[in-house]
């Protein structure tokens, strides 16, 4: 799955893109490490939040 022109992703989409399990993605959202938005009863992760998360973990590793 690639971001392409999509702006929002489901936790399942994000887990596939990040190579993580869905449970881990939900943990990251709950802790605030991975920003998400609530739309009705659904949680979605903005594309920019995925890039910000990756940037943060790369900086942490350096």
Instruction: Render 1-61 in DSSP notation, one character per residue.
Output: ---TT--EE-HHHHHHHHT--HHHHHHHHHHTSS--EEETTEEEEEHHHHHHHHHHHHHHH
Would 45 be classed as within a structural domain? Answer: yes
Total domains present in the chain: 1
Domain contains 1:
no
pLDDT of residue 7: 96
- Residue 33 domain flag: yes
- In which domain, by residue range, is 18 found? 8-61
Domain membership flag for residue 2: no
Q: Please state the separation of Cα 52 from the chain's center in Å.
A: 9
Residue 62: pLDDT band by 50, 70, 90 thresholds?
A: confident
Residue 47, in any domain of the structure: yes
Determine the pLDDT at residue 5. Answer: 84
Q: So what's the pLDDT on residue 47?
A: 96
* pLDDT digits 0-9 by tens, 5-59: 899 999 999 999 999 999 999 999 999 999 999 999 999 999 999 999 999 999 9
**Does a structural domain hold residue 17?**
yes
Order of strands, sheet of 8-9, starting from the edge strand that comes earlier in the sequence: 8-9, 42-46, 37-39
pLDDT given for residue 2 in this prediction: 61
Give a yes or no: residue 48 inside a domain. Answer: yes
Is 39 inside any structural domain? yes
């Amino acid at each position: 799955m690639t971001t392409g022109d999509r702006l929002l992703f489901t936790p399942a989409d994000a887990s596939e893109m990040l190579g993580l399990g869905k449970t881990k993605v939900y943990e990251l959202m709950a802790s605030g490490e991975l920003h998400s938005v609530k739309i009705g009863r659904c949680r979605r992760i903005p594309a920019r939040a995925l890039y910000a998360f990756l940037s943060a973990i790369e900086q942490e590793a350096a």
